[in-house]
Amino acid sequence: MTTHTLENDRCRVQVSPHGAELSSFRLDDHEYLWQADPAHWGRHAPLLFPIVGRLPNDTYLHQGQSYKLPQHGFARDQEFQLIYADARRLEFLLMASDATRAVFPFEFDLRVGYELRGTELTVHWRVRNPAASGHELLFSMGAHPAFRCPLGANEQFEDYYFEFDHAVQLQRQLLRGGLRTGETQPVPLENNGTELPFSAALFADDALVFSRFDFTCLTLRSRRSARAVRLRFDGFPYLGLWTKSAAAGFVCVEPWHGVASPLGPPQELADKEGILALAPGAEFMAAYSVELTG
């Protein structure tokens, strides 16, 4: 598969035009990104667009008409066009097509950029509603990067934890079949509320989904090595943390502008929690960053 590369004296990044997906992020030739083993989960860092999460029966309504979309939408399985590349930055483009209009009746211009500075990679999103469409663009989008866990040899999943910059209190939204039940549950923390330790039980009931939190970064750390991954996600209203199982070998940190639907019948897209609305000619921009240490 064709990939495009950014690199400097310490880091090397590879991005595939398929889904504009980050496929490798190496520090000092050590791979930090999950390498998409299909035995557990066959993706690296998919882009979630035009929805985040699951819909009831994979169905939504728009102006009374029914449409089907799989969990997390279609962008992760589309071929993007590389429209800019230099030694430090890549930019990819996806626009509406007959295939996307059949399941998502909107015009859109979606650009995904990658910028490498030192040991930090920033991912930029820009969504534009083409002015000629004459209609609002309704959408959600999110990130889904997966990082190796453990990152080093002679470590276990349970050696890892998420570190917060300050003491937090977390209430997860409970899921059933990928849909929100409307119930919440407190998440147990350690070290005066600054650490979320990993265990098999932590992810036994699907992803941890948060819609009310007062932090904009967290760090994946080990108690047995110096390797770490720090993510910053200013302005994102939702966050997911997920792994397939403690034995899978990865963990995902997922900042979102959008969230899964609640249990119940399909609903109008305009009424779905987390949906963004762009007037003709308007733009939406967001970014998150990943910094490696080790």
pLDDT digits (tens, 9 = 90+) for 191-205: 999 999 999 899 999
Rounded mean pLDDT of the chain?
96
Average pLDDT, integer, range 273-281:
96
Beta bridge pairs of residue 112: 92, 125
Phi, psi of 112 (to 5 degrees): -125, 120
Q: What share of the chain is helix, strand, coil (3-state, %, to 5)?
A: 5, 45, 45
Backbone angles phi, psi at 26, to 5 degrees: -115, 140
At 37 the pLDDT is 95
What b/e sequence results for 129-153 when a residue is b if at least 16 CB atoms lie within 10 Å of its CB, and e otherwise?
bbeeeeeebbbbbbbbbbbbbbbee
The pLDDT, as a whole number, for residue 131 is 75
Q: pLDDT band for position 129 (50/70/90)?
A: very high
Domain range 4-293, its CATH number among 2.60.40.10, 2.30.42.10, 2.70.98.10, 3.60.15.10: 2.70.98.10
Q: What is the rounded average pLDDT of the residues 90-108? A: 97
pLDDT score for 132: 76
Share of the chain above pLDDT 90, in %: 97
CA diameter of the chain: 58
